[in-house]
Amino acid sequence: MKVAVGQFVVGPRWQDNANVCVELMAQATEAGASLLVLPEAVLARQDDMPDLSVQSAQPLDGAYVTQLCEASRHTNLTTVLTLHTPTIPGRAANTLIAVRAGEVIARYQKIHLYDAFSVQESRLVDAGDELAPIITVDGMLIGLMTCYDLRFPDHALALALQGAEVLVLPAAWLRGPHKEKHWETLLTARALDTTCYIVASGECGNKNIGQSRVIDPLGITISAAAETPALIFATLDKQRLVKVREMLPVLKNRRFTPPQLTCYTPDKVD
């Protein structure tokens, strides 16, 4: 399966950001990708207005998602990203969506909110309490996560135990002390914990690191971006995943039962 990962600087106008997403979708389709992963919170962002993403929240039937759905209508590309959707006045959910063939085929409300490194995402954002559904893309089973979820190995493990072969992660990984090293280390660790491929997109700009990556089930980075806007590609090989899991059967060798996490069932089953 050929995958694409796009990273860009999210700006303050949702129309401009939607247009960038549509252009990346067109490029990924032209290159023959089956899956495109874009960053977290791509609706709107401005460095001196930290609450803009929440203030700009749109419902899933709003203009932003409608534009992405229309762009996907006549392709087989599955596009994954997150944006803020309104909950109650003044608050929002950080909502991951997977878009394909003109529809939102899956959605997930971020469970682990980024209340760390002097940031408090939960101040204006409501946490979810259910895992994302497993979806199928080009014959591979895809588990969906968002940014800070990466720091919780039981989350990734729960998806792998439900059958995920690829873990997809839109992110906006903030700069900070040793944060680039954390990103690299955690992505590699989650690949090794689960023997899954990892496909992670990072928003880039003044505050976020970019550095999108695709990592194979043995923890090897097979494609990577730097800190500037980019569209990268990689090929995921299901037979390599099968061979790695035969050689390194950590999912079978487990001796402890992970915490029970609920799996969300979408209105439309993929």
Catalytic residues: 40, 110, 147
Gyration radius of the chain's alpha carbons: 17
Indicate the helix (H) or strand (E) that contains 17.
helix 14-30
Task: Report the C-alpha gap between 27 and 18 in whole angstroms.
Answer: 14
DSSP conformation class of 122? G
| Residue 76, token pair as written in the block | 């087989």
Q: How many residues does the chain have?
A: 270
Contact (CB, 8 A) for 208 and 172: yes
Q: How would you classify the pairing of strands 197-202 and 166-171?
A: parallel
Task: Report the C-alpha gap between 64 and 6 in whole angstroms.
Answer: 18
